Structure 1
């Protein structure tokens, strides 16, 4: 009986303890949930989490674990925070080399063979101004108003007067055969050619062409160097060697012949006429030099090259250039350029990059030749 009453008492008391335990664990669960969300616990529930009740509640029912919530970005916080400012770009530093520094220097020294280039360029500039203003118009007027046969006769007359000097220099160069031919030219043109007005000696009957020679050529023939380049007014481009030779050429004939050749009227008139003829003969070369990027250097190089070619020919050193290979005609209508035929001989030397005269095109059969413009 006592056992039955004790069991009944325990059965009636068990629900009460369970309910108290549940009521005591409810505030703890709420506190844990709010703590996980970062919210403070309510004031009415704070007293339920007393130190003496917390162990019993924790033992009775453990608090449920709240799932991890995704972080929520508040729009107000985003708007209030300043936008991230990108860091300023660092300017690129120039690359430096570890070697020696590069130094750019202007050319202060005169080029080889032209030690007085500043004086020559000044003289060339003055000569070009005089040529533009006086000499070129006079030469063109002389060409326009004086017929070509008369101009040729005057040119032959003064060229015939240089034949004795040319013959003397051929003798000095140990060329007696050419000296004899030059004397023969002088005699034929002075008689049959009416005092040298007509160049009869160069015709097929006599076959005695005019040859250039003088004391400047004789100096070069025996190895005298040209010396510094000079541009002398009323003379033009020359060298120290050729200027001395030209002076001797002009002095020998008046000293030997004398008479009218020493007259100042003859000297002045012959100088004017020869200058006009020389200006007309050199007109094409002067135009080409003016059209170049450096007229002074072009004039100097053209003179030195021509002078050296004449000296080489005088010594018998003729520079023979191998003729180009005959072109192979292209197939009709193919539009391909003609190819060069293979040659069994040595290759021709390279041609200069910038020709002094424009190339002359060969017209096709039935096509009129194109006019070649003056540079």
Structure 2
């Protein structure tokens, strides 16, 4: 299998920025009120996380957002919608697998039917025929599967490039990447092209939401953190005592902050995690 050149991989890594953070913007601000104190308790590495978040924000503003804006202005909406459907269709297959692992066989059959219908009648997933027929999406990932098995979310953490996550969801990152069609091809350039298209198209869809957030006088870091934790069910876990404390899940905050070398180690999957200042990317986390 060809390995993508460094010249191709580095721009791609820059592209993974802020996507999972941006997807949380759709949660309303009202639902976030009253959650901040809980979010802070689940964020024992806040100083480190804020530095990584700031790096990712800068990367988004200077690299990904301009590219996504150009893409949005040039590519017609129907084409962007077709791209959405294509990647969602692959995600539906992975959701079906996770639902089986969770023992939710009826829901798994539903997602399997979505994948089959859209892959055939929907021209490889470009059209959401199943959705029009009333077969709704139920996005799942391995982090949610671990939660179904009884694992608490653990402490909140922001990864360079990969963005908002938790101890539990971090373990699911490498397996969740199976949901990208990029890993079904051997050619390195094709792999990079597919990943880039997915990242840029997703960011383009979030331009309006992120611009709206820019106009709100609030702490963006806190908003993203609380929105992510709520969307991943962390607050509900916390209410029943399932969330691991930072001391149970990871090294102490000072230890993490004083170990920049750890950020250069791979964080699951083929894409390496960049320098310690980096931070905030895609994760295709979806709501239950």
TM-score range, shorter-chain basis? 0.5 to 0.7
Gapped regions of structure 1 (runs ≥ 5): 1-109, 313-375
Gapped regions of structure 2 (runs ≥ 5): 1-38, 238-288
Matching of residue 297 in structure 1 with residue 222 in structure 2: yes
Task: Return the alpha-carbon distance in structure 2 between the equivalents of residues 285 and 193 of structure 1.
Answer: 28
Distance change (3 Å), C-alpha of 1:263 and 1:279:
same
Q: How many equivalent residue pairs?
A: 198
CA contact (8 A) 2:118 2:127 kept: yes
Cα distance, 1:221 vs structure 2: 1.5
Of the two, which has the highest radius of gyration?
A: 1
Distance change (3 Å), C-alpha of 1:240 and 1:264:
farther
Task: Return the alpha-carbon distance in structure 1 between the equivalents of residues 188 and 168 of structure 2.
Answer: 26
Cα distance, 1:174 vs structure 2: 1.4
Q: Secondary structure at the match of 2:196?
A: helix
Q: Secondary structure at the match of 1:226?
A: coil
Match of residue 210, structure 1, among 137, 143, 149 = 137
Matching of residue 235 in structure 1 with residue 162 in structure 2: yes
TM-score normalised by structure 1 residue count: 0.48
TM-score normalised by structure 2 residue count: 0.62
Q: Secondary structure at the match of 2:131?
A: coil
RMSD over aligned Cα atoms: 2.7
Distance change (3 Å), C-alpha of 1:285 and 1:244:
farther
Task: Return the alpha-carbon distance in structure 2 between the equivalents of residues 247 and 151 of structure 1.
Answer: 26
Cα distance, 1:142 vs structure 2: 0.9
Q: Secondary structure at the match of 1:119?
A: helix
Q: Secondary structure at the match of 1:207?
A: coil
Q: Which structure has the highest helix share of the two?
A: 2
Match of 1:144 in 2: 73
Distance change (3 Å), C-alpha of 1:289 and 1:229:
farther
151-160 or 288-297, larger mean C-alpha shift: 288-297
Distance change (3 Å), C-alpha of 1:113 and 1:263:
farther
Distance change (3 Å), C-alpha of 1:298 and 1:289:
farther
